[in-house]
Amino acid sequence: MARRFKVAVAATAAVALGLSGCGSPSSKNDTGKADNSKITAQKSATDPNAKGPAPEAPGVHKGGNIIITAESTPSTFDPTDTYYTDSNEIEKLTFRTPTQYAIRDGQPVLVPDLTDLGTVSSDKLTWTFKMTGQYKYEDGTDVKVDDLAYAIKRSFAHDVFPNGPTYQMGYFKDGDKYKGPYADGDTYAGVETQGTDTLIIHLAKPFSDLPFYMTFPMFTPIPKAKDNKQDYKNHPLSTGPYMFDQYVAGTSLTLKKNPNWDPNTDPVRHAYADTWTFKWGGELVSTQQKVLNSAGDDANSLQYQDVDASLIPQLTGDKAKQLITGESPCTYVLNIDTRKIPDINVRKAIAKAINWDAISKANGNNDKTAEPASTFMPPGVPGYTKYTPYPDLTGTGAGDPDGAKKLLTDAGKLGFEVSWYYDNTKPVAQQVSNIRADSLTKAGFKVKAIGVATADLRAKISDYSAPVNLAQGPRGWCSDWPTGSSWLPVLFQTHSIADGISWGFLSDAAIDKKIDDVALLPSDQATSKWAPLDQELMGMYVALPWYYTKMATVAGTNIGGAVGDATMGMPFFPEMYLKS
C-alpha cells in the first residue's frame, strides 16, 4: 500500500498538517462559518449520471487573477508522482481523470469525468471503463483511450516516480512484476483497451474502491509521444480548464485558461478566473495576516495552510467571514511498536499516564484546527462510528500517573523503558516530547527521548529497526479516498510493516483475515463493517488516538466560492472566483 507522504513522518502535528485540516458543522463548508468546533460525518456518495457542464453558482463574477499562497512548496506537478494533497488540489485545475469528485453541500460525490464509473465483472477481477465523450489536450490534439492506458503503465516506473501512489502494484494483475514502460515496454497484462473508448483493468484481487482511486492525478491521460520522463513535471499537458503559463519550481506557478477545455463535457470544474498565481515560501503568519488585512491584491488571495493559532483572536466580526472551514480525512496518533511492547498492560499504562491536554496545548491545537480523537478513522470517512471510547483513549485528559504506575507494578514492569525520536531543533516538538517524558516518568517508566535534527527525523522514525518503541511513523494518516479501505488494510495488516506504514506493528493472521473479509466486499456493503474493526483494534492499544485535523484557512475579502474539499482537507479550487 502507498504512503500518505504529507503526514506520514512529520516532526510535529503542527508542521505535518500545515497543508491539511478537517471538520466543519456547516453543510456548505463555505466562508463565514467560523464555528467548526465539531467534525461532521460524511456519507459515501456516487452519481453515475452526472454530466457537464457543472452547475454554475448564481451571480458569479468572471475574470481576474486568483492568488494562492503557502509556506510549504509542492514537490512536483508530474501527475504520476503526485501524492501530496496540495499538489493534488492544484492539479484539479489542470488535469481531468477517469473519475472525479464534485463537492455538493459540503460532501464529496464521485462522478464520471473522462469515463463512466466503471463496471466490474462477476468475479470482481476485471473493471471496464467507457470514455464518456471526446476530449482534447491543451495543444488541440485528441485524448485517446490509449493515453489513459499509458498513464497507468507509467505509474509502475516507481524508480523514476518514487513518490506516487502504489495501490496498483498490489491490486493490479502482475503489478508486483511489471516495472513500467521504460524498463519493461508497453506490454502489460493488467491494462488493455478495446476500440477507441474502452479501458479495461485486470486485477490480482478484488478492489471495489477502484473507481475512487481513479480520481488520482496518476490516472490523467499522457500521450506516450509527449512523455519526457522527469522533465514532464515542468509543463504537463492539460486536459482541465487551466494550463501552465509560467512555472518556477519551488517558487511560483501561473496558470492561464486552456482554450481546448470544453465545459460542456465537465461535470465538476469551472474556469471563472482568467488566471491563477501560486506563490510559495512566504512566512506563514505574516502571509496569513496580509490575507486577513486584504489590502490591494491581498483581497484576491487565499492562504491554504491551517490558520495559525496566534491569528484566531482576530477572527471576529467581518473577519470571521474570511475563515473557510471544511472536512479533512486525517487522524494523528501516538504509534506503539507492539513487537517491542507486547504486554497490553504496559500499553494501557502509557495511555493512562499521558497528559493529552498539556500536549495538545503545547502543540497549538485549537477548536478551529483540531478535535480530540477516540477512533482511528476520522468522522470525515464514510462508515465512521463514534463508539464508546475506551478508558484513556479519548485524546483528552491530564493523565493519571498513579493509576498507570499501578498497572505497571501489577504487570511486573515498573521501570520499563520507553523511547522515541523528536525534533530537537523545533521548540514545539521539544515541548511536546518533554511533557510526554514527564508524564511517563511519573508513572514509573524509564524514559529515553532521542533528539535529532529536522533533516534526519523522517528517516529515523521510518526506520522500523531503530532502537525506539514509541512515536514511529506514520504519526498521522489521511484517507486516500473516502472509505475505510484506505485505513485499516493499509495500517494494520502484517504487510504494513514491510510497507513502512504500520500503526501498532501487528503481525496477526486473524486480524489480517478480518480486514481482508471486509476489504473484499463491495464498497456499499463494506462501509458499515469498518467501524467494528476500528473498535476492536483500538481495544488492543496498538496506537493511541490524539486528534482529528480540521481545515481552517483564511481567504481575502474578494474570494468567492471557497468551499472545503473533504477528500484533500483543502479548499476546493474548481469552484472559486473573485467577487468583483
pLDDT in tens, 211-266: 999 999 999 999 999 999 999 999 999 999 999 999 999 899 999 999 999 999 99
Cβ pair 536, 512 in contact under 8 A: no
- Residues 507-536 have a mean pLDDT of 92
| Average per-residue pLDDT for the chain | 90
Query: pLDDT value at position 40?
Result: 55
All three cell numbers of 537, joined, read 483494534
**Is there a cis peptide before residue 532, judged by omega within 30 degrees of 0?**
no
- Residues 83-97 have a mean pLDDT of 94
Q: Around Cβ 106, how many Cβ atoms within 10 Å?
A: 23
Query: pLDDT value at position 1?
Result: 31
* Residue partners of 172: CB distance under 8 A and separation at least 6: 152, 190, 191, 201, 202, 203, 204
Q: What is the DSSP letter of 32?
A: T
Query: pLDDT value at position 516?
Result: 92
Query: pLDDT value at position 23?
Result: 25
Give dist(CA 57, CA 164) in Å, integer.
34
Query: pLDDT value at position 35?
Result: 40
pLDDT above 50: residue 93: yes
- Residues 300-307 have a mean pLDDT of 95
Range of weakest confidence among 4-18, 37-51, 105-119, 531-545: 4-18
pTM: 0.82
Helix axis angle for 427-442 and 401-410, nearest 10°, is 60
Radius of gyration of the chain (CA): 23
- Residues 423-428 have a mean pLDDT of 90
pLDDT above 70: residue 18: no
At 421, is the pLDDT very low, low, confident or very high (cuts 50, 70, 90)? very high
- The better pLDDT of the pair 303, 8 is held by 303
How far from chain centre, in Å, is Cα 281?
A: 21
pLDDT above 60: residue 13: no
pLDDT above 70: residue 6: no
User: What is the percentage of the chain residues whose pLDDT exceeds 70?
Assistant: 92
Range of weakest confidence among 12-16, 32-36, 51-55, 288-292: 12-16
- Residues 106-123 have a mean pLDDT of 95
- Residues 359-366 have a mean pLDDT of 91
Per 3-state DSSP, the chain is made up of helix, strand and coil in percentages (nearest 5) of 30, 20, 50
Query: pLDDT value at position 383?
Result: 83
- Residues 563-576 have a mean pLDDT of 93
Query: pLDDT value at position 10?
Result: 31
Whole-Å CA distances, 496 to 439, 489, 500, 507:
30, 8, 6, 9
pLDDT above 70: residue 123: yes
pLDDT above 50: residue 501: yes
Is the domain 330-549 a CATH 3.40.50.1110 member? no
**DSSP string over 490-502:** HHSSTHHHHHT--
Query: pLDDT value at position 15?
Result: 30
pLDDT in tens, 162-210: 888 888 998 999 999 999 999 999 999 999 999 999 999 999 999 988 9
Cβ pair 469, 447 in contact under 8 A: no
Give dist(CA 480, CA 117) in Å, integer.
17
Q: What is the DSSP letter of 423?
A: E
User: In terms of Cα–Cα distance, which of 477, 470, 427 is closest to 450?
Assistant: 470
Query: pLDDT value at position 21?
Result: 26
Domain boundaries, the chain: 5-273+551-578, 330-549
Range of weakest confidence among 14-18, 52-56, 250-254, 313-317: 14-18
Query: pLDDT value at position 146?
Result: 98
Query: pLDDT value at position 213?
Result: 95
Query: pLDDT value at position 30?
Result: 35
- Residues 497-526 have a mean pLDDT of 91
pLDDT above 70: residue 7: no
Residues in the chain: 580
Strand (E) or helix (H) holding 287? helix 284-293
pLDDT above 90: residue 303: yes
- Residues 386-399 have a mean pLDDT of 94
pLDDT in tens, 23-68: 222 222 333 333 444 555 555 589 999 999 999 988 899 999 999 9
Cβ pair 279, 287 in contact under 8 A: no
pLDDT above 50: residue 553: yes
**CATH fold of the domain at 5-273+551-578:** D-Maltodextrin-Binding Protein; domain 2 (3.40.190)
